[in-house]
Amino acid sequence: MTDNSANSMWGGRFAGGVDAIMEAINASIGFDRRLYAQDVAGSRAHAAMLATTGIITEGDARAIDQGLAQVKDEIEAGNFPFRTALEDIHMNIEARLKEIIGEPAGRLHTARSRNDQVAVDFRLWVRAQCDAAITGIEALMRAFLGQAEAGADWVMPGFTHLQTAQPVTWGHHMLAYVEMLARDRGRFIDARARMNECPLGAAALAGTSFPIDRHMTAAALGFDRPTANSLDSVSDRDFALEFLGAASICAMHLSRFAEELVIWSSAQFRFVRLSDAFTTGSSIMPQKKNPDAAELLRAKLGRILGANVALFTVMKGLALTYSKDMQEDKELTFDAADNLMLGLAAMEGMVRDMTANREALALAAASGFSTATDLADWLVRALNLPFRDAHHITGSLVKMAEDAGIDLPDLTLEQMQSVHEGITDAVFEVLGVDNSVRSRISYGGTAPDQVRTQVARWQEVLQ
């Protein structure tokens, strides 16, 4: 006979043998206690419905409601006796309710299962996280709008391949992130609308023979309607996956700007100065001001995307309906939601506090032959040249300037005419970076007036 309790693989932590291991792997109370408010809300709505439909008495429903209110108060006061042996938040609350009100507590679970109970609790929690994400995104959008409005006409280099491409405005660059975040906001709004159906009443998997009113509980919990298929109700977590998908895309956008902040705050760029609140010093190099918050935020995407991939992996092989594997959905989603909200708050603080170095931006905007495209466009407009010819002429002028160690606006008219005799001194009106950005008047372009128009539009949307 094998002595399981002595198995060295289990070690001292599981000295109790199989029972200790099973309790540890089966219990979820260590993390699903976060669902206490949703569990209480769902149970109170369920009890009220049971009384209205005559399944339990009004007296039992009142006792249950008062007892659940006390349970919620105890949890929020830190006085609740959580017990791992009771596995999860649902059983912990039900056991404590029985201690408080006695026999009526046993009637609460009529016409429901832990399967539909956890489904409604988790859906309520994820729905609330969508709301929180929407609020956080809107706050960050306002921070970017503040920067865009202040720097609507500040010139800076626009990049492709991290190489200077064309001059743009600081405001235009900030608005690019407003647009990204607006789509993130839309994804959370869409996800919330899709998940706003109530699974309570699906019971274990097949519904119930009791004459329940699922529309009543759905309305009480703020859902648009009850779910229409009991099997689907308890077996899918696509609402959590959709939340994680939206969170992953949003975190990717935050990570991209975090990367720009790391680059821009370096001594080589000096485009921005981050506040002391979001930077740290070096232990041995007193001149350093490290963008630690941006670097950490850049890394948060890994955890959020990891949660997304992990839950997909959990769900992909599960036959209908409920399997214990699905207990792994919560820790992943909790962690992703926490990190997303932290990332949004940190980024809002960094964007609001950062100071753009207007002089460094303008100096960089004027380097790297950034107005070459403006020169080519001028050749098309003024000399009626095909764009490909204009592109070739401009390339020759760029090489001439590069060989001379100067920028395009520093070439003389005679030097330009040596490449194409039709060039006139009017060309110098388009070669300055300020002239360049002012000329980009197409809808959504970088011209200051376009920037101010978009700022005003978004400010109105976010009111």
Q: What is the pLDDT of residue 18?
A: 61
How many beta carbons lie within 10 A of that of residue 169, not counting itself?
A: 29
Residue 122 · residue 432 · CB < 8 Å: no
pLDDT of 233-270, one tens digit each? 999 999 999 999 999 999 999 999 999 999 999 989 99
Please give the Cα distance from 27 to 38 (Å, whole number).
Answer: 19
Q: What is the pLDDT of residue 5?
A: 44
Q: What is the pLDDT of residue 3?
A: 47
Nearest to 300 by CA among 271, 246, 258: 258
Which residues have C-beta within 8 Å of that of residue 70, sequence separation ≥ 6? 100
For residue 385, give both structure tokens.
């040249």
pLDDT of 48-81, one tens digit each? 999 999 999 999 999 999 999 999 999 999 999 9
Q: What is the pLDDT of residue 29?
A: 82
Q: Provide the pLDDT confidence category of residue 163 given band limits of 50, 70 and 90.
A: confident
Q: What is the pLDDT of residue 7?
A: 47
pLDDT of 331-378, one tens digit each? 999 999 999 999 999 999 999 999 999 999 999 988 867 778 888 988
Q: What is the pLDDT of residue 17?
A: 61
In sequence order, the β-bridge partners of residue 339 are none
Q: Provide the pLDDT confidence category of residue 288 given band limits of 50, 70 and 90.
A: low
Residue 32 · residue 38 · CB < 8 Å: no
Question: Is 388 strand, coil or helix?
Answer: helix
Q: What is the pLDDT of residue 77?
A: 96
Residue 260 · residue 180 · CB < 8 Å: no
Q: Share the mean pLDDT of the chain.
A: 91
Residue 191 · residue 164 · CB < 8 Å: no
Residue 140 · residue 253 · CB < 8 Å: no
Q: 384-392: list long-range contacts, CB under 8 Å, 24+ apart.
A: none
Written in H, E and C, the secondary structure of 226-277 is ECCCHHHHHHCCHHHHHHHHHHHHHHHHHHHHHHHHHHHCCCCCCCEECCHH
Q: What is the pLDDT of residue 285?
A: 57
Looking at the predicted structure, is the pLDDT value of residue 157 above 80?
yes
Please give the Cα distance from 355 to 48 (Å, whole number).
Answer: 55
User: Which amino acid is residue 463, in one-letter code?
Assistant: Q
Question: What's the Cα-to-Cα distance from 219 to each of 113, 196, 226, rounded to whole Å?
Answer: 20, 11, 9
Residues tagged active-site: 161, 282
